[in-house]
């Protein structure tokens, strides 16, 4: 399995291209460069040589909640376990931080269910997470599915 590393600032243009390629096809939400730079410390990447072939972020929402965001695996590198390894890296980081619940908003609910995520009504998520949604082009007609993962206590 390819090594998972923390993202570097130089990775951002490639991450953005990869994310926005999927976003153009409606598979995930686009991310502006400013957001990627501001949140670069949240991101894991997988590289092949100098090329970023996958990324994912764990964003802390509150004392008991974090979100997996911007998970993307380049088309040529899919179906090799890379997406799974990034989800596991995000879950591990949440666990190490002592955060009991991780959620995601996605169009790929079946993928996240493979790791034990369960679908929930978006309205069950705390209001705080919606502050970011105000900037989303789809707001207020969000068609993503919300899923949560709870660590066993
Ligand atoms: C969804 C995505 C991240 C999956 O990444 P990947 O590296 O191809 O996935 P993996 O190879 O790690 O797959 C792990 C398992 O999930 C399955 N799987 C992969 N994509 C799936 C999907 N869209 N729906 C259901 N299951 C899926 C695989 O078959 C594999 O199953 P197995 O363990 O039984 O063999 C990738 O297709 C992607 O980047 N898509 C575009 C962006 C996107 O939709 N991101 C989602 C988050 S917003």
Question: Is 90 exceeded by the pLDDT of residue 85?
Answer: yes
- The pLDDT assigned to 149 comes to 98
Question: Is 90 exceeded by the pLDDT of residue 116?
Answer: yes
The predicted-structure confidence for 28-80, as pLDDT tens digits, reads as follows: 989 999 999 999 999 999 999 999 999 999 999 999 999 999 999 999 999 99
- The pLDDT assigned to 153 comes to 65
Residue closest to 46 by CA, chosen among 91, 93, 78, 94 = 78
Atom of ligand 1 nearest to the CA of 71: 47
Calculate mean pLDDT across residues 107-122. 96
Give 20 Cα–ligand 1 centroid separation in angstroms: 17
Atom of ligand 1 nearest to the CA of 19: 42
- The pLDDT assigned to 25 comes to 93
Interatomic CA distance for residues 77 and 13, integer angstroms: 19
The predicted-structure confidence for 121-153, as pLDDT tens digits, reads as follows: 988 888 777 777 777 777 778 888 999 999 986
Q: Is 3 in contact with 15 (CB distance < 8 Å)? A: no
Give 136 Cα–ligand 1 centroid separation in angstroms: 24
Phi and psi torsions of 134, nearest 5°: -60, -25
Question: Is 80 exceeded by the pLDDT of residue 1?
Answer: no
Atom of ligand 1 nearest to the CA of 28: 48
Ligand 1 near 147 CB (within 6 A):
no
Give 83 Cα–ligand 1 centroid separation in angstroms: 6
Ligand 1 near 79 CB (within 6 A):
yes
Ligand 1 near 145 CB (within 6 A):
no
Residue with tokens 């929402």: 61
């Amino acid at each position: 399995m390819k090594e998972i590393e923390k993202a570097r600032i130089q990775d951002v243009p490639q991450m953005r291209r990869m994310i926005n390629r999927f976003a153009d096809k409606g598979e995930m939400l686009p991310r502006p460069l400013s957001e990627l730079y501001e949140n670069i410390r949240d991101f894991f990447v997988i590289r092949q040589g100098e090329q970023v072939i996958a990324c994912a972020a764990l964003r802390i929402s509150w004392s008991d909640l974090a979100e997996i965001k911007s998970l993307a695996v380049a088309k040529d590198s899919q179906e090799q376990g890379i997406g799974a390894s990034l989800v596991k890296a995000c879950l591990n980081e949440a666990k190490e931080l002592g955060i009991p619940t991780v959620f995601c908003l996605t169009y790929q609910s079946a993928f996240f269910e493979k790791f034990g995520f369960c679908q929930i009504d978006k309205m069950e998520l705390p209001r705080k997470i919606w502050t970011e949604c105000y900037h989303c082009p789809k707001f207020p007609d969000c068609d993503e599915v919300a899923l949560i993962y709870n660590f066993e206590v």
